[in-house]
Structure 1
């Protein structure tokens, strides 16, 4: 461990003072954040608030994965990027913004698409993963890698005016995984570019993802393991469903398929 990670400097105590004041966080929780490594898969609408809040909160090492470039149509919701970043890789844009927010954290970049091997290695290298992607195939692959590496996964999704959030923690015997909840999915999955999405909605879901990550990393509160939060932005309603682990799940079940 880096010796500097074993204590907080005077500057860090001041920077993080408002969250250190929380009895659930305190200095020990802040030190846990400082020693943590987190992978963010996707730096778009969900990944933007996730990256911004985790960087601001002092998570010591953020691993940023996105192969895309910033487009004008992204800026309505992807608040990590700005007009000057159009045409630039989202990873490079994110590094510039996050460094400006908190130069005291470390940033590791994955600017190319992750195949099975590189995804497995990226997940193994961190303590927690946040799935901020926008397609079902990536979510399934990230889930499988997290189950294999026994890494907790904070998963969020938003489309149109509906959002979802859950936490899958393979370290817990009672935790379902993403596949337990969604199965093989549907080939007719829509993306934001096809169905549209409200910018503030992805901000809400991403902010909640960041909060769940902080709870897991600093070890306080009750993470949303075994629970699915459904957000109806049109009616401003939140609903929670219980989700059970599937013993026959091909990913995390008692006899998972190879």
Structure 2
């Protein structure tokens, strides 16, 4: 199964107190040809001043749903430990409708302790947070099937993480997109685990899109050859320099096959 190469932008909503700059950056990314614009689900900056300017994820996605026309949008990724799963499904369904069917529901187990401590959530352990994610994913999917009105489409679920014992089985069972970090050989080894899990549950593994951070022009072809098709560049405030995104989009356009013509 050959997938179209896609380029995403993770716009990190930190260190920029003027939301208008974030809004304009989203528009610039869409105009530049990005396929997806992500934010992240944190409450504080992850770099620089730990108490610097920062905005919330899901209210922002609702605004992006209204202001954009073509790009898909989503969180890379939602912190599962501090989002009620049934309410999250309802939020996702609503943003799906606002956007006309362009939402990706990205979710992970969460890892940044300050998010939990400062907002009164139990941080627990890495294992307990993954167990909670395993409990929440079926609740999310069940709730999506009971909402009225229904989502406009099957909302793709992106699962972030690479734990062999707990995360990868969740990718195999629930994921439409798998986002992970690390070296290519590690990704390939972990993908083999996902494939085996898919065999065990009767799922077609190539239905899962594979996503990694943009590795740069020199290495991107190796990732595509390994079956990876979604690359995301990350930029933070306050300036939001789109140069890495423009580079990745240029590479995509140079290496994507031309559209078929003359077909009805």
TM-score above 0.5: no
- TM-score (norm: length of structure 2): 0.31
- 1 or 2, which has the higher helix percentage? 2
